Structure 1
């Protein structure tokens, strides 16, 4: 007998892939590649933990990150999924 996968809110939340951009601080303009990636990962972790931010971002692949020091920004193509309501309201169960 085949078992049915559980149906819950996680199966039906919107997901996608989008380009996100972050400004480069004066300090970041002089960082090496490893330091820039570390700061990008820290920024994504901070957004994922923020109940005001409505989606969970997946860390980008290395080729999906562009650092434009002239424009002072980092762009990253990230997959995402909308957070469940209890995480957006800041009342984790």
Structure 2
């Protein structure tokens, strides 16, 4: 499962806000490290665990199942752009 790093960072208000929140909670991380997550499009597992905990502690829970690259492509019951809608098939 691949996570959408941009979406996770945005969940905490962006890279600077995330950095400040982590620092306030006693977690030492360089802003450059968060930039590296973006470059690699990957967050180390131990940091994912810290982000989930941070979200819970700040009342802004991080629901990882909504932060996957697969969830970005999920269309629910709606047809994708390449699939015709039922109404257009029946006309």
TM-score (norm 1): 0.29
- Which structure dedicates a bigger proportion of its chain to helix? 2
Flag the structure with larger Rg: 2
> 1 or 2, which has the higher strand percentage?
1
Structure 2 length-normalised TM = 0.29
